[in-house]
Amino acid sequence: MTTRASTTASTAEPALAATARELGLAHYAARGVLENVLARHGATFAQQIALRAAITADAPQTPDDLAARVGESLKADPVGIRPVLDELRAKGLLVADGEHLRPTDAGRELFAAVAAEAAPISARIWGGIPVEDLAAAGRVLALVTERANTELAALNA
């Protein structure tokens, strides 16, 4: 019995451990796919994140609120996000509404078009991964994100 278990263990495929490098490579591969789709629509990754933040906000956002929200997502200085918001306004994807910015119909249409084009690609990337594996990956990624945010806050304190 010991021999059999030993033989099975030696022929089984080794488990791939998730490392920071593996997680980073997965992120950049997925981002590369999205950036390719975005480029066909004349948009950038930062613009997509800002547009998503404006569309999904629970309440109207001031430019400062929106820049802070996008900055938090991208781990970037909100001051550097303001030009992205200006680009979206220049393209007619965001519009000033008093002291707030809101997405225009064109902004919502672009967001929907990118989502529709990316959906089948995402399905091919994520398809066939067992639910249990996705759940475990989700837990690990949430923990890594929490810890990285804690470290980033300490570095910026």
Are residues 15 and 9 in contact, defined by beta-carbon separation less than 8 angstroms? no
Task: Kindly report, residue by residue over 85-114, the tens digit of the pLDDT.
Answer: 999 999 999 999 999 999 999 999 999 999
For the chain, the maximum distance between any two Cα atoms, rounded to a whole number of angstroms, is 76
Looking up residue 45, the CATH number of its domain turns out to be: 1.10.10.10
Same domain, yes or no: 117 and 43? yes
Same domain, yes or no: 77 and 105? yes
Distance CA 115, CA 48 (A): 10
Same domain, yes or no: 72 and 143? no
Task: Kindly report, residue by residue over 122-153, the tens digit of the pLDDT.
Answer: 999 999 999 999 999 999 999 999 999 999 99
Q: What is the mean pLDDT of residues 58-77?
A: 94
Q: What is the mean pLDDT of residues 26-35?
A: 95
Are residues 31 and 39 in contact, defined by beta-carbon separation less than 8 angstroms? no
Is the Cα dihedral 127, 129, 133, 137 positive or negative? negative
Same domain, yes or no: 140 and 71? no
Q: What is the mean pLDDT of residues 2-8?
A: 45
Same domain, yes or no: 59 and 110? yes
Q: What is the pLDDT of residue 139?
A: 95
Both tokens of residue 61?
Answer: 């956002």
Q: What is the pTM of this model?
A: 0.83
Residues in Cβ contact with 152 at an 8 Å cutoff, skipping those fewer than 6 apart: 75
Same domain, yes or no: 59 and 78? yes
Domain that holds residue 151: 128-157
